[in-house]
Structure 1
């Protein structure tokens, strides 16, 4: 974000008013939304679920692959961001794609797919 745009946003009266209202209302709204929630128990349950999923990851991946392939999808398991980028580039080249549509995904951000595709042409 440019400094000019930041200055514009800082000087935007509507935005300042909206943020002030949010800041004032948020604590009470958050407290109400989580009323009665035992955060420590929730944290433990989430941690336990995560550990269980990690233990089961190989079988979960295989189950996903099997089910995805039943629907006609092709699944590519990559061991590194570089490998994933190369697989994507190869698919684009093999299929002679003129353009690429990607869904919103943190994975594409994490592997820097946009900049890779721009550099690849």
Structure 2
């Protein structure tokens, strides 16, 4: 039986989430990538609370980039890192959301690292 790409992604994400858990000292940087957009959240899993977030749906990024390219993903990474640093968060654990660390996911992660997040 051949599994769909979506179900394989869900399996990978479940496997990752068994190991990756965000604490108040080191929250989880969670990435969701759709075909058109990319979303990033810094989450404290103990309180189930989002501390910082950014996406390509925001007006400032939407005007500059029509779709979620690697450039747009890098801007989202930079923006979420700036917002996390304003909250006093500098160390996070990275949750790639079951996607392969390549392309837009890698661009976002590298931009967040360059902006000051440690993971």
Is this a same-fold pair by TM over 0.5?
Answer: no
Q: Which has the higher strand share?
A: 2
Larger helix share, 1 or 2: 1
Question: TM-score scaled by structure 2?
Answer: 0.31
Higher CA-based Rg: 1
Bigger relative contact order (CA 8 A; separation at least 6):
2
